[in-house]
Structures are given as C-alpha cells and as structure tokens.
Amino acid sequence: MTNNHHSTVAVLGSGKIGLAFVKQILQKTSYRVYATGRRSETLKAAESLGALALRDNNLAVRESEIVVIAVKPFHFPQLLSEVEPESWKGKIVVSLMAGVKLDTLRAAIPGARVFRAMPNLNSYVGFSSTAVAENGYDDTSRTVEEFLKIFGKVYWVPEEYLDIWTGLAGSGPAFIAEIIDAMAMGAVAAGMPRELSYEAVLDVLEGTARLLRSRLYQHPGQLRDAVTTPAGTTIKGLMVLESGGVKAVLMKMVEEASRRSREIGEEINLKILEKIRQR
Ligand SMILES: NC(=O)c1ccc[n+]([C@@H]2O[C@H](COP(=O)([O-])OP(=O)(O)OC[C@H]3O[C@@H](n4cnc5c(N)ncnc54)[C@H](OP(=O)(O)O)[C@@H]3O)[C@@H](O)[C@H]2O)c1
C-alpha cells in the first residue's frame, strides 16, 4: 500500500474509467477520493466503492491535490463552467479525455499543472497500459508517474503518440476481447463447451504474453515458428489465417482507430477553444 499521508484525489466523472480509478486508488492507497457524477446511480456506484461521492465538481477540485478528469470530451466545457478558475490553481490535473490536447487543457485551466494520460479499462484490475504526456523530469512528473502506477504500467510518451496509443492500447481491450470470443467460438464449433473454451483462450492469452515478455523469443514470429511443426496443426490454422488476410485486417484496425482518435481530437479541440473564448 502506498503511503500518501491523507492526500486527496478528485475523480471528475465516475463512469467506466472513473470508477476503475476510484476502485484501485481506494484498494491500494490511503488517498481520500472525491468522485463526482450527475446521476444518482453514478454517485451510488462511487459511494459503494468507498469514495466521497458528490455532484459539486468545484468542491472536489478545491479540496484535492490531484484531479483526474474522466468525463467525455464533449462534457468538458460544461464541467469547466462548474469549477471556479481559482479552484484549479496549483493542482496537478491528469486528463484522461481522448483527443483533448495539452495546449487546450492549459488554456482551459490556467494555473494548474496538466498532464494527458491514456489508460485503458484494464485499470479496473490494475493492469492498464497507460501512456502519459509529457515528462517534465521534475517532482510533479514523478508524483504523476507514481499515481498512474496504481492502475498498471506507465509509459512517458511525446503527446503526438497519444492518438496512436488510443487506437492501440485504449481500444485494445475491445479488440482483444473480440479475438478471444472468436477463438472460443471456434472451439465451440469444433465441439467443446463454451465455458471451457473461453477459459482456455484466456489462459493462452495470459501465458503467451508472459512467454513473449520473458524474451525467450525475441519476436512473436520466432514463437510462431517454434510452435509450427511441418504438416502439423498450427501450420494448417495459420494457412487459414493468412488466406483470410487477418493480419492485414488487424493492422488496419489499429491504424483506423488511431486515425479516428486524431479526427475526434481535431473536432473537439476547436469546440472547447470556442467555448473558452466565449467565457
Ligand atoms: N472507457 C475507457 O476505456 C477509456 C480509456 C481511456 C480514456 N477514457 C476517457 O475517459 C473519459 C470517460 O470515459 P468513460 O468510458 O468512462 O465514459 P462514461 O462511462 O460515459 O463516464 C463519463 C462519466 O462522466 C460523468 N459526467 C459527465 N458530465 C459530468 C459533470 N459535469 N460532472 C460530473 N460528472 C460528469 C458521467 O456521469 P453521469 O452518468 O452521472 O452523467 C459519467 O459517469 C473519456 O474522456 C474517455 O476518452 C476512457
């Protein structure tokens, strides 16, 4: 357990990713957590995890040292209007919003130290792969890194990589879930029960990740070759995979998801800057 000496974190927006953050923070640290939302169901869910759940974003920001922004980007202008500019001053702000650029965040909340992070839903079990921009190589950056490690692995990246990260690791759990489902269904088609097939695929996934991380094989292709017996089962399966163009499809999947992240970013940044100008 990290000893945070009663520091306080605000999670603004207790939706899917917000609640995952709340859960891990309360499980692993002694931070007090303010979690905000609009609907009573949202507040109840945050409260049941042990957070101080409230609608008042201004109070949550004012009372906290670290502020996590976990609302959808298009809800950000409304959230901004609910928090007094003074309340942000001196805070460490970690935005999880896809596409909202650091420059936009700095213009929206002057006086705060802002970071942009892209975690994924695996945060819920402490296995996120989180990219964060940008490293100031100072105490505040180290605090942010320690904080984000609560949810899994942390990678400092230049901001320009965040859209690609969103298409790869942010959307990644959904992509992997589809692949897992497809393989399990294949086993069902071959005659094995669904539950057993599903557990087996999850084991294969976790084990393969560990094996590749061990660097016994330097490249996934080497692992593939090690499993592939001439005229055996694996090569027959691989031939089907190749004839379906699956590898190219998966490459395009990540590229297209990344492109869409960039596109959404461009739309939303203009809208947010327009709202700020109207203030
Ligand atoms: N889900 C992911 O895997 C993931 C991964 C990385 C980053 N993100 C980013 O995280 C953000 C949230 O995504 P999500 O999937 O968690 O969305 P979500 O489930 O829709 O959650 C958003 C939450 O924000 C709350 N909210 C909206 N306006 C608010 C306001 N003015 N004050 C307080 N709370 C407010 C909503 O509360 P009510 O329901 O009560 O209205 C909702 O619970 C997005 O910007 C997304 O880009 C998500």
109-146: pLDDT as tens digits: 999 999 999 999 999 999 999 999 999 999 999 999 99
Give me ligand 1 centre to Cα 70, in Å: 5
242-258: pLDDT as tens digits: 999 999 999 999 999 99
Protein residue with its CA nearest to atom 32 in ligand 1? 37
At the top level of CATH, the class of 172-256 is mainly alpha
Beta-strand pair 32-36/52-54: parallel
Pick the residue with more confidence: 258 or 273? 258
CATH of domain 8-162: 3.40.50.720
Q: Within a 13 Å sphere around the CA of 217, how many CA atoms are in the beta-carbon half?
A: 14
Q: Which atom of ligand 1 is nearest to the CA of 71?
A: 24
Q: Average pLDDT, whole number, for the chain?
A: 95
Q: Which atom of ligand 1 is nearest to the CA of 79?
A: 31
User: 172-256: same fold as 8-162?
Assistant: no
- For residue 54 the two structure tokens come to 């409230």
For the chain, the structural domain boundaries read 8-162, 172-256
Residue 4 has pLDDT above 70, yes or no: no
Residue 236 has pLDDT above 70, yes or no: yes
| Per-residue pLDDT at 5 | 54
Residue 20 and residue 148: Cα distance in Å, rounded?
Answer: 12
**Does the C-beta of 94 come closer than 6 Å to ligand 1?**
no
Q: Give the mutation target among 11, 16, 101, 151 for probing the ligand 1 site: most ligand atoms within 8 A of CB.
A: 16
Q: Within a 13 Å sphere around the CA of 125, how many CA atoms are in the beta-carbon half?
A: 3
Contact between 121 and 15 under an 8 Å Cβ cutoff? The reply is: no
Give me ligand 1 centre to Cα 14, in Å: 6
Residue 37 has pLDDT above 50, yes or no: yes
Residue 229 and residue 119: Cα distance in Å, rounded?
Answer: 38
| Per-residue pLDDT at 1 | 45
> How much of the chain, in percent, has pLDDT values that exceed 90?
92
CA distance readout (Å), 16 to 82, 96, 154, 278: 22, 12, 20, 31
